[in-house]
Amino acid sequence: MSAISHVHDLVRRRTVDVHSLHGQFAELDQQREAASLGMWVFLVTEVMFFGGMITGYVAYRSAYPEAFRLGSIHMLFMAGTLNTAILITASLFMVLALHAAKLDNRKVLVWCLIAAMFLGICFLSIKGYEYWDHWVEHKVPGASFQWDGPDPRHAELFFVLYFFLTGFHALHMIIGVTAVGIIAYFANKGRYTPEYHNPVENVALYWHFVDIVWIFLYPMLYLIGHRHL
């Protein structure tokens, strides 16, 4: 492009940058690193949160392995596997979105975010279907729980863990989908540039974390009862 439009471009970016830099920071780079560090520290708290529940799972599974195996057989294996594929694909779209932000490709950025959002909603819908199925099959812990195998009490414990783990995960998914939606809206308005796209990076980080939690939950809940294919 011509020299003038190039300078014009730089000026536009500088103006945008100055608006994005907050007072306590000296440079955009410092601000970006701070925002990123903040999100990583927050994710540590999330690891500890899920870690507590996973500890509970480990404790009970080592005490009652057979009951847990039998409980796992009642999971909807296809739904869980499909959901895993969906979530990993959604993460791929988040990676592509971040890449597009770095390359100033607004259209690709917005569409990748929307794709991730859509896949997230698919995940939640399939999860909802699974919950409904468990309800109909009397596998929801509480008064309506029915179990006609051995060791009903510990089988019910498996389901308690299933609902708590996937329930908290789903809650985080809802937050994630909302966050991605908000980012998509601002991305569409041109808020993000190669110099400043912290929110995209940090929402992507959060999304990847929620994905990784699922990657732990899937084998813990779905694979311990099923034969390997």
Partner 1 sequence: MFPLWPTAASTTADNVDALYLFLISVTGAVTLMVIVIVVVFLFKYRHSKHPVADQVSGSIPLELTWSLVPLGIFMIFYAWGASIYMAEATPPRDSLQIYVIAKQWMWKLQHENGVREINTLHVPLDRDVRLTMISQDVIHSFWIPEFRVKADILPGRYTTLWFRANKTGTFMLNCAEFCGTLHSNMVGKVIVMDPAKYEAWLTGGGAMGSFAGTGQKLFQELGCATCHRFDTQGRGPNLVGVYNKPVLLSDGSTVTADDAYVRESILNPGAKVVAGFQPIMPSFQGIVTEDQLLSLVAYLKSISTPEQSEPVSNRPPVPKSGAPEVQ
Partner 2 sequence: MATEVEVPQHITQEIPAAESDYLNSEYGIKSWLLSTDHKRIALLYLFSITVMFFVGGLFALIIRLELLTPKGDLVQADTYNKMFTMHGLVMIFFFLIPSIPNVLGNFLIPLMIGAKDVAFPKLNLMSWYVYNLGALMFVYTICTGGLDTGWTFYTPLSTGFASSNVVVGALSIFVVGFSSILTSINFIVTVHKLRAPGMTWGRLPLFVWASYATAVIIVLGTPLVAISMALVALERFFGIGFFDPLLGGDPLLFQHLFWFYSHPAVYVMILPGMGVISELVTCFSRKKVFGYSSMALAILGIAVFGFLVWAHHMFVAGISVYSAMVFSFLSYFVAVPSAIKVFNWTATMYRGSIYLLTPMLYALGFIGLFTIGGMTGLFLASLGIDVHVTDSYFVIAHFHYIMVGGMVTAFLGGIHFWWPKISGRMYPEMWGRIAAGTIFIGFNLTFFPQFVLGYLGMNRRYWEYAPQFQVLNVLSTAGASILGIGYLLPLAYFAWSLKYGPRASANPWNAAGLEWTVPSPPPTHNFKESPIVTTEAYNYEDLPRDIEIPREATVVGH
For partner 1, which residue of 12, 107, 153, 189 counts as binding (CB under 8 A)? 153
**Any contact of residue 28 with partner 2 (CB under 8 A)?**
no
Cα separation, 223 vs 80, whole angstroms: 10
Q: Give the whole-angstrom CA distance, residue 37 versus residue 39.
A: 5
Residue 207's Cβ-count burial label (10 Å; 0-12, 13-18, 19+) is buried
Q: What angle do CA 7, 8, 10 make, to 5 degrees?
A: 60
Give 8 or 153: the residue with its C-beta nearer to partner 1: 153
* Spatial distance between the Cα atoms of 49 and 47, rounded to a whole number of angstroms: 5
Enumerate residues 194-213 that contact partner 2 by CB under 8 A: none
The answer to whether residue 139 forms part of the interface with partner 2 (CB under 8 A) is no
Q: Which of 80, 111, 156, 211 forms a contact with partner 2 (CB under 8 A)? A: 156
- Closer CB to partner 2, residue 124 or residue 160? 160
Please tell me the distance from the alpha carbon of residue 103 to that of residue 167, in angstroms, as a whole number: 37
Q: Binding to partner 1 by residue 64, rule CB under 8 A?
A: yes
Q: Pick from 16, 17, 21, 56: which binds partner 2 (CB under 8 A)?
A: 56
The CA-based diameter of the chain, rounded to the nearest angstrom, is: 79
Of 127 and 154, CB closest to partner 1: 154
The yes or no reply on residue 66 touching partner 1 (CB under 8 A) is yes
DSSP of 2-22: -HHHHHHHHHHHHHHHHHH--
CB of 150 to partner 1, least distance (A): 3
Task: List the one residue from 46, 104, 151, 195 that touches partner 1 (CB under 8 A).
Answer: 151
